Amino acid sequence: MDQNRAPVLEALQAFRECGYTPFNPPGHRQGRGADPRVLEILGEAVYAADIISVNGLDDRLNRQGVIEQAQQLMAEAVGAEQAFFSTCGSSLSVKSAMLSVAGPHEKLIVPRHAHKSVTSALILSGVCPVWLSPHWDAERHLSHPPGPDEVRELFKAEPEAKGMLLVTPNDYGTCGDIQAIAEVCHEFGKPLIVDEAWGAHLPFHPDLPPWGMDADADVVVTSVHKSGAAVEQSSVFHLQGDLVDPNVLKAREDLLATTSPTSLVYATLDGWRRHMVQHGKELLTATLALAHSTRAAINDLTGLRVMGEAEFLGEELAKSLDPLKMVIDVSALDISGYQATDWLREHQRVTLGLSDHRRVVAQFTHADDHRTAGILLDALSALVKAADDFETPPPVDLPSSDELQLETVMLPRDAFFAEVEQVDADQAVGRISAEMVTPYPPGAPAVLPGEVITKEVVDYVRSGLNAGMELPDPADSELKSFRVVARKP
């Protein structure tokens, strides 16, 4: 196929040039009906590009195949057999992939550090999770993707499991051995789904960690809005092999997806793919060099340490590392990552993604340059100078890896939809959770519906909340009480 083409962008241009007058959605009519105060902020171009797919980008019966062509180009560009665009983010893509492999009451191997979207899929589907413990770094309180040996043992113990989900890279940029795990899955005739939301850029440079399709995964989900250049909610799920039926995958996606997808997502996905094919390697080469020099400069700042291969890689840790993730340990400044992130936003106008009790994460993409890197370095230098005036951060009661492995006594779906009650935190210990309690980011639940709540985890999330942790899921945002399955009279 001609990778210089961008079918969605071409269709947008044709719609404008033909001068269509629409009497179908969207109702803003390319911005003519928008509040001028909104146009002043968003700009007319946003609305002009917001065109319905059916009888808009394409004709009434989609006979031009605009979206299909764009998806085929994406698949070819990254070495997949098929690609599907999602305008609802990778949360939807992961759900679709899981539901295409396992159905109600069927088993699926899932690492316990998976994103909350995976738990949502378990609740929606009634799939029975077979929990797989991730590799755990007790010293740094970090989890990494599991290895092939653990996967093999679990498939032997649970031969009826329909497949496996693997999360790699994680929010800290650490990656699992996809190739080895895919080989294990295929030994048992089972598909491997890879939640590679943070890895959309990986296919386009040889010095980055392996890309899931190249490593023989069956379905790979990417969030192009995270490490690419598409707008928020832009996701693609990719398919190869014969272990997952493409018709089933598309049908499951249709169950969850919107019937009103936005052309803004389609257009930016299409344009990003073309850009990466044409210039991705040179752009990422420059970004990798910039990340390397910035990492060294941060390490020269007193009290800051950019974690790298020495801390992350090893037989019981991660297989590889995305060098574009700057995981900066701030604990030597006697401050928390939560404090650092809030201070950098308020005083330096620099925003970061992940923060935890001792780290912050700055992610580089091909959009960064020496100017943005300099802003980050100046902001971090100012943080180092200001840190002495910070209040001592409240302690977080960090549980051990064993204490994080809660007992599952009900399916997540059954607990979520059960009759529930709200009980005081001290009374919740020993009860079955009916809700997720999720530090976000990274979005891996500390407590899942169907798990027995323990004192250690209650102390962890409550102390974390007091220290600045974001916990968006619980019914009681102050965690004075927990939502639990009601006891039978």
Asked if residues 330 and 340 have their Cβ atoms less than 8 Å apart, the reply is yes
- Averaged pLDDT for residues 2-29: 96
- Residue whose tokens read 């990422």: 284
Reported as a single tens digit per residue, the pLDDT across 79-128 is: 999 999 999 999 999 999 999 999 999 999 999 999 999 999 999 999 99
User: pLDDT-based confidence at 441, cuts 50/70/90?
Assistant: confident
Query: In this structure, what token pair is assigned to residue 293?
Result: 């020099």
Residue 392 has a pLDDT of 96
3-class secondary-structure state, position 237: strand
- Average pLDDT of the chain is 96
pLDDT digits (tens, 9 = 90+) for 283-317: 999 999 999 999 999 999 999 999 999 999 999 99
The model's confidence at residue 429, banded by pLDDT at 50, 70 and 90, is very high
Amino acid present at 42: L
Which residue type is seen at 16? R
- Tens digit of each residue's pLDDT (9 = 90 or more) over 386-411: 999 999 999 999 999 899 999 999 99
Instruction: Determine contact, residues 229/215, Cβ cutoff 8 Å.
Output: no
Sign of CA dihedral 269, 96, 250, 212: positive
Q: How many CA atoms lie within 13 A of 356 on its CB side?
A: 22
Q: How confident is the model at residue 182 (pLDDT cuts 50, 70, 90)?
A: very high
The yes-or-no verdict on residue 488 having pLDDT over 90 is: no
CA distances from 477 to 95, 439, 461, 471, 474 (A): 26, 12, 11, 7, 6
pLDDT score of 4:
97
CATH 3.40.50.300: does it fit domain 7-274? no
Residue 266 confidence class, pLDDT cut points 50, 70, 90: very high
**% residues pLDDT > 90 (the chain):** 97
Rounded Cα distance, 107 and 260, in Å: 32
Respond yes or no on whether the N-terminal peptide bond of residue 442 is cis (omega within 30° of 0).
yes
At residue 195, the pLDDT reads 97
The pLDDT score that the predictor gives to residue 324 is 98
Domain range 401-485, CATH class: alpha beta
Percent of the chain with pLDDT over 70: 100
pLDDT of 489 over the 80 cut:
no
Q: Which tokens sit at 465?
A: 């909340």
CB-CB contact of 212 with 241 (8 Å)? no
- Which of these CATH numbers, 1.10.10.410, 1.10.3720.10, 3.90.1570.10, 3.90.1150.150, describes 281-389? 3.90.1150.150
At 297, the amino acid letter reads A
What pLDDT is stored for residue 461 in this prediction?
97
- Categorize the per-residue pLDDT at 352 as very low, low, confident or very high, splitting at 50, 70 and 90: very high
pTM of structure: 0.95
The mean pLDDT of 174-183, rounded to a whole number, is 98
Asked whether the predicted pLDDT for residue 37 surpasses 90, the reply is yes
Total H helices, total E strands in the chain: 18, 16
Q: Where are the domains of the chain?
A: 7-274, 281-389, 401-485
